[in-house]
Structure 1
Amino acid sequence: MDKLHFTIRVDAPVHTVWTTMLDESTYRDWTRTFHEGSHYVGSWAQGGLIRFLAPDQNGSHSGLVATVIENRRDEFISLEIRGEVSRGIDDTTSAHARRFAGAHEDYSFSESDGVTTLVVEVDTDEEFTAMFAADWPRALARLAELAEERASTAD
């Protein structure tokens, strides 16, 4: 498993970046980079189960299922991948699903003078390293655009 690191500075308060990242409508927007139709079902609350889904070629929803290990509002979120979702069904036991099990996604937020720094650390199967290395910066750039738009209209 590879660990990828990404950092972006966003000209918006930390709470604006936080809510833009997690709100369902804006989440769908900034995660389109990974797969059109990306969304989540579940809770970001600590201990909550959350499914990251997108339509597959059969019209079903597939993706990953995770547990929210830690959630400190406006500071930090840690997820642990449990397995995958295939055609709408959670799979944590097959050999394919176990490739993802135990992977972490961590999001750290800090603010200084109205500028938020977001650091993302993602474990990924080697098969997806190149794709995520290209997609994450584009997704984070879109997240920054959305958060900065929100911040400018709040003034």
Structure 2
Amino acid sequence: MWETLWGDETYPKWTAPFCEGSKAVTNWQEGSKVLFTDHEDRGMISLIVRNTPYEHMSFKMLGQLVNGVEDFTSENAKKIAGAFENYTLTPDGDKTLLVVDLNGLNMDKDIMDYFTATWPKALDALNAISEQ
């Protein structure tokens, strides 16, 4: 599952429900910056706070990417700055349990509704890819 989450070929597939053409630009090392971006160079800027391979990945959101330009000061950037996105994997027999939690996001109702509708689709895609 770990390779499916963060692999160059698989990451864009399971994150497509969020945005077609998604990619993560990083070296995946703890302390490194990540640009979660799309085909139009829009997305989020994060920092890898923790990377315990095959167990846990934690991202701290820093700002947003707008047309390839890093933005840390706009209202939209400030809404996500400081929030965390955490992925925890736990072995469960011959399967792996994945828990994704987001905390500290200052989102309005429309964004929350979008995530509520989209996360299940992304996780279904991740599951399908992992089982191949």
Instruction: Tell me if 1:31 matches 2:11.
Output: no
Decide which of 94, 101, 114 is 2:81's aligned counterpart: 101
**What residue in structure 2 maps to residue 41 of structure 1?**
25
Greater fraction helix:
1
Q: Deviations over 1:3-42 (max 9, x none)?
A: xxxxxxxxxxxxxx01011001100101000011111111
Q: Given residue 134 of structure 1, which amino acid in structure 2 is its aligned partner?
A: A
Partners in 2 of 1:34 and 1:106 — Cα distance? 17
TM-score scaled by length of structure 2: 0.93
CA RMSD of aligned residues (A): 1.1
The total of aligned residue pairs comes to: 129
Question: Which of the pair has more CA radius of gyration?
Answer: 1
Partners in 1 of 2:81 and 2:27 — Cα distance? 19
Q: Deviations over 1:48-100 (max 9, x none)?
A: 10000013xxxx31100000000101110110000000110111122321111
Partners in 2 of 1:74 and 1:29 — Cα distance? 19
**What residue in structure 1 maps to residue 130 of structure 2?**
147
Q: Given residue 33 of structure 1, which amino acid in structure 2 is its aligned partner?
A: P
Instruction: Tell me if 1:131 matches 2:111.
Output: no
Greater fraction strand:
1
Q: Given residue 89 of structure 1, which amino acid in structure 2 is its aligned partner?
A: V
**What residue in structure 2 maps to residue 52 of structure 1?**
36
Structure 1: which 5+ residue stretches go unaligned?
Answer: 1-16, 150-155
Q: Given residue 19 of structure 2, which amino acid in structure 1 is its aligned partner?
A: H
Report the identity percentage. Answer: 32
**What residue in structure 1 maps to residue 97 of structure 2?**
117
